Structure 1
Amino acid sequence: MLFFGGYRVGQVKRFVLTTVLASVMLPGCAGPQVQPLMPTPIVFSALDFSPLAHIPEDQRWTPRRVYYATTRQRTQDLQKIDYTNNEADRISLGMSLVGFGVPQMSWSELSNASRQPERDGDIELALSGLVEIGNFEAATAETPAIDAAGALSWLANDINTSIDAARDKDLLIYVHGAKVNFYNTNAFAAQLDHFMGRDMTSLAFSWPTRQSILAYGTGSDVRRAYRAAPALTSLLEELSKGTTARKIHIVCWSAGGRVVTAALKEMFERHAGNDEDLRERFRLGTVYYAAADVPQSEFIEALPALNALTSRMVVTVSSKDSALVMAKSFMGGGLRIGQRASDLSEEQMGIVREAGRLEVVDVSRDWEGRGFDITGHRYWFDHPWASSDVVLSVRSDFSPAERGLAPTDHSLLWSIPADYPERLRRILTRENLSSGLREP
C-alpha cells in the first residue's frame, strides 16, 4: 500500500544515540559528503501534498536511517569508518544516518519543502553517522554464505524490527551507477526513501566504482560491476530467507543495472532446478531500471530469468541520454536498454513479448505534445515527472495506466503524456495517498 509512517520511538532513540557516538568516534567516509535533495516529484507538488504529512508528531525527526551493504574495502584506520574504492573479498554490513538540511532545519520546513515544485534554496544531505555491524563472505552455487560473527543474523533481526514498526512492510534496495562514492549511495537511498514517505525500510548496496570516467570508460569499473554481482545475489538470498519483508524492491541506476541483471541471472541459475516458485521464494517486487547502462543484447538474454524472479520490471528509456550515447559509441557493446530499442532480431522480439512482467517507459516519446523533453542521465531523479513514476512503481501495485502513463502501439511500451499532472490528480487524492494504495 502507498501509506506513510515511521519507526518506533524507542528504536529511533537508540539508533540516534548510537550514530551520534559513531559520528564523533568514527567519522564517515572520505570524499564529497554533501549533495542537495532531489526535486519534488510532481505526484506531491501537483496534489500540494507532502510525503511527510501523515507521520505522527512523536516520529518527526529530520535525519533518516539507511542500512547498507558494500563490497568496498574498509580503510585500515581503526579510528574511523571509511570505505575506499578498493574491492573487498567480503561484504560489510551496517547502518548510516543521513541528515536532511542544516541541523537547525525544522520538521515543518522539511515537510513543506518536500511538496514544493520550487525551493528557496538547496536542502543538503550529509552523512551524520555510520555504524558497521560486521561482514560476511558471499555464498556461491556450491557453498553457503560464511557468517562466523553473526552479522547477517544481526542485520536480519534489525531489519525485521524496522519492518514490524513500519506501515509499509516492504524493503527497498538502491544500487548506484559509476563514478560515485560510498556517501553518494547512502544519500541517494535516503532521499528515495524520503519521497516514498519514509514508510519503508531501505538499504544501499555500494559496489567499488571509482570517481573517474576513465576507470569506467576503459572497462575496468565495468568488470568491477560484474564482480560485485555475486555479492548482491548472496545478499538477496539472505534477505529473503532471514527477513519478513513482504516484497524486496530494487531501484538501480546506470551501471548499477549491470550489477542487478548479472545478480538476478545468477540467482535464477542457482535455483532454477529446484522445482519451486522462485518469485514466491525470493519475494522480489518491482525492479526499476533507471537510465540503465546495460547492453540490450545482455538484458534480453537474461530476461527470461528476470521475468521468472520478479513481480515487475520497469525500464526507462530516453533518446537524449548523452551518457548512454557516449557509452555505446566509445565503450562498445551495442545499444543500451536505457536507449530506445532498435534492430531486435525475431528471436529477441519473441523473448521480449513473452516477458509479461516487463514495462518500458519512454520518457522522450511525444515530447512535442508536452512542450519539453526529459533529458540527461539523471532525469529519473532530477525531473519531477520521471521521478513520480519511480515512487508510484515501488510504492503501489498500480499498472502503468493507473500510474497516469499513456499506452502506445506496443503493449509493453508506455509514455508520459502531456496531461500527466492532471491524470495524477484524477487518479490520486491526499486521502488515498495517506490511507494506502498497495493491495494487501
Structure 2
Amino acid sequence: MATPPNLYLEGTNYPAPAVPAVLRSVTPQILFVTDREPERTEGRITGYGRDRSSAMAFGAASVQFGADDWDDLVARTHVDRNGRISRLTVTKVEEKVRFDSVPLPNHRLDGELRVEKAAADSYDAGRKAFQAQIRAEIARTGHRRILIYTHGVANEFETGVTTLANLWHFAGRDSIPLAFSWPAGNRGPLGYFRDRASGDFSVYHAKEFLTMLAEMPEVEDIDIVAHSRGTGVVTQALRELILVQRARGVRPKLGLKTGTLILAAADLDTGVMRQRLLTERFSEAFEQVNIYVNPDDLALKLSGFLTNSARIGALKQDDFSTKELKGLAKEGLIHFIRVEGAGNANSHSYFRENPAVLSDIVLALRTRAFPGGTLRPLEQDEDAVWVLQPNYPLERLPDLATVIDR
C-alpha cells in the first residue's frame, strides 16, 4: 500500500491530515461511563463527585484545548518536554443515558433467581440507548476502535476525562475515546483505603459496559489504558469476563474484542498478578500488554508497605526471574517497561507528565508496534525488561506503510 503524502506534519509526530474533519475541534467531546454520584446545579447535572452511585451513567464531556482553532492546535501539537499541549478544561457535561440502579429486583422461580421482567426490560432499554449512542459516534467519525482510560485513586472526574483527551489527541484522534470514571477522590488519612474499596465496588459496572461494547458488531477493537488503582478495577473486570468467554468456548480475544492493554504505575499485588499473568493466561485476551514500572515509585512503595505486599508497578529485579520475563514476552506478549529518571515528586503520575512515557504509549496505540523496533526504539536489559530512557526520541516519523501493513 502506498504511503499517503504529507500524512505527518513536518517536524512533529502528529498525523494532522488523517484526522477526520468532524474531529478537528479544540473542544471535542470525550465520552464517559461513571458510577459516581452526580452533582447538580439548579437541578441540572454539571459533574460527578466522589460518592458511589448504584446506577451507571453514560454521557459526553466537552474538553477545551488551549488553542484558538484547529490550525493553531496542530501547529503546537507534539510531545515536547512538558508532555502536554496546554491545560485542558472540562467545559460542559451532558448525561445521555442513566441505567437503573442495581441490583435489579428479582424473585425465585424453579430454584433460580430471576430478574423481574419490567426491571429487566427497563435495564435493557438503557443498554440499547447506550449502544445507539456508540453506533451514532461510529457513523459520525468513521472510527470503529474504542480507546478506554481508567484513572487511579485521588482522581476527580475531570482529571480522568482530561487525561484521556490528552492521550487520544496525541494518538491522532483515530478512535472513539471513552473514560470509565469510578468514585475516587476520598480525602483524609483513610482516603486511599476508601478509594480502593470504591474500586472494588465499580468492578461490576466496568464488566457491564465492556460487555455492552463487545456485543456490538460495529465495534472492532477496544484498547484500554489504566493508571494506578484503576488497573485493579479493569483487570478484575477483564479477568471475570475472560473466564466467562472461556466457559462459553469462545476465545477471549474474539469475544471481548480487546486490543492493546496498557497498565501504568499499576497498584496491583505482584503475587496476584503473577498468578493471573502466568497461571490464568490473562494476556491471551490482548494483542499485547505493556506494563510500565518504576522501582522508585513513592506512592506504590507506600501502598506496598500499607498492604504488606509488593506492587507490580514498582517491579524489582527479583520479583520475576529472567526466564519468566522472557517467557511472558515471547508467549504472552507481555512487555515490562522500566521508566528511568522518574524518581521525583512525579514518580507515580509519570505517565501523564513524563513526555517519554507519553510518547511510547502514543506510539503503541497508534502503530500497534511491539517495543524494540524502529517504531518504538526501546532497549532491553539483561533481565529482559525494556528500558525507557529520559532521552527517548519524542518526535518520531513512523514509516506509515509499515504501520498500515501491520
Q: TM-score range by the shorter chain?
A: 0.7 to 0.9
Does residue 328 in structure 1 map to residue 304 in structure 2?
yes
Does residue 361 in structure 1 map to residue 337 in structure 2?
yes
- How far 1:282 moved relative to its partner? 0.8
Q: Which residue of 2 aligns with 1:428?
A: 398
Q: State whether residues 34 and 58 of structure 2, in contact with CA within 8 Å, keep that contact through their aligned partners in structure 1.
A: yes
Q: State whether residues 157 and 243 of structure 1, in contact with CA within 8 Å, keep that contact through their aligned partners in structure 2.
A: no
Instruction: Report the residue type matching 1:90 in the other structure.
Output: A
Secondary structure class of the residue paired with 2:88: strand
Does residue 407 in structure 1 map to residue 372 in structure 2?
no
Does residue 266 in structure 1 map to residue 255 in structure 2?
no
CA distance in 1, matches of 2:276, 2:92: 38
Q: State whether residues 229 and 263 of structure 1, in contact with CA within 8 Å, keep that contact through their aligned partners in structure 2.
A: yes
Q: Which residue of 1 aligns with 2:349?
A: 378
Q: State whether residues 51 and 195 of structure 1, in contact with CA within 8 Å, keep that contact through their aligned partners in structure 2.
A: no
In 2 relative to 1, CA 151–389 (structure 1 residues): closer, same or farther, beyond 3 Å?
same
Does residue 175 in structure 1 map to residue 175 in structure 2?
no
In 2 relative to 1, CA 229–321 (structure 1 residues): closer, same or farther, beyond 3 Å?
same
Q: Which residue of 1 aligns with 2:70?
A: 107
Does residue 84 in structure 1 map to residue 45 in structure 2?
no
- Please identify runs of 4+ aligned residues in structure 1 that moved more than 6 A: 142-145
CA distance in 2, matches of 1:45, 1:381: 23
Which blocks of at least 5 consecutive residues in structure 1 are unaligned?
5-43
Does residue 437 in structure 1 map to residue 406 in structure 2?
no
Does residue 237 in structure 1 map to residue 214 in structure 2?
no
Per the normalisation by structure 1, the TM-score is: 0.76
Deviation digits for residues 276-317 of structure 1, max 9, x if unmatched? 211111111111001111111122222225223222111001
Does residue 125 in structure 1 map to residue 88 in structure 2?
yes
Q: Which residue of 1 aligns with 2:358?
A: 387
Which blocks of at least 5 consecutive residues in structure 2 are unaligned?
105-112
Secondary structure class of the residue paired with 1:421: coil
Equivalent residue in structure 2 for 1:416, among 388, 394, 398: 388
CA distance in 1, matches of 2:222, 2:271: 26
Q: State whether residues 186 and 194 of structure 2, in contact with CA within 8 Å, keep that contact through their aligned partners in structure 1.
A: no
Deviation digits for residues 11-54 of structure 1, max 9, x if unmatched? xxxxxxxxxxxxxxxxxxxxxxxxxxxxxxxxx99942434354
Q: Which residue of 1 aligns with 2:313?
A: 338
Q: Which has the higher contact order (CA 8 A, sep 6+)?
A: 1
After superposition, the CA RMSD in angstroms is: 3.4
CA distance in 1, matches of 2:14, 2:247: 47
Higher deviation after alignment, 376-385 or 73-82: 73-82
Q: State whether residues 94 and 131 of structure 1, in contact with CA within 8 Å, keep that contact through their aligned partners in structure 2.
A: yes
Higher deviation after alignment, 232-241 or 179-188: 179-188
- How far 1:188 moved relative to its partner? 1.2
Equivalent residue in structure 2 for 1:61, among 25, 29, 34: 25
Instruction: Report the residue type matching 1:318 in the other structure.
Output: N
Secondary structure class of the residue paired with 1:376: coil
Q: State whether residues 72 and 84 of structure 1, in contact with CA within 8 Å, keep that contact through their aligned partners in structure 2.
A: yes
Q: Which residue of 1 aligns with 2:110?
A: none
Q: Which residue of 2 aligns with 1:26?
A: none
Instruction: Report the residue type matching 1:421 in the other structure.
Output: P
**Taking every aligned residue pair, what percent have the same amino acid on both sides?**
23
Q: State whether residues 253 and 289 of structure 1, in contact with CA within 8 Å, keep that contact through their aligned partners in structure 2.
A: yes
Instruction: Report the residue type matching 1:437 in the other structure.
Output: V
CA distance in 1, matches of 2:96, 2:249: 35
Q: State whether residues 20 and 141 of structure 2, in contact with CA within 8 Å, keep that contact through their aligned partners in structure 1.
A: no
Instruction: Report the residue type matching 2:145 in the other structure.
Output: D
Aligned length: 380
- How far 1:418 moved relative to its partner? 7.2
- How far 1:70 moved relative to its partner? 0.5
- How far 1:163 moved relative to its partner? 2.6
Higher deviation after alignment, 251-260 or 77-86: 77-86
- How far 1:93 moved relative to its partner? 0.9
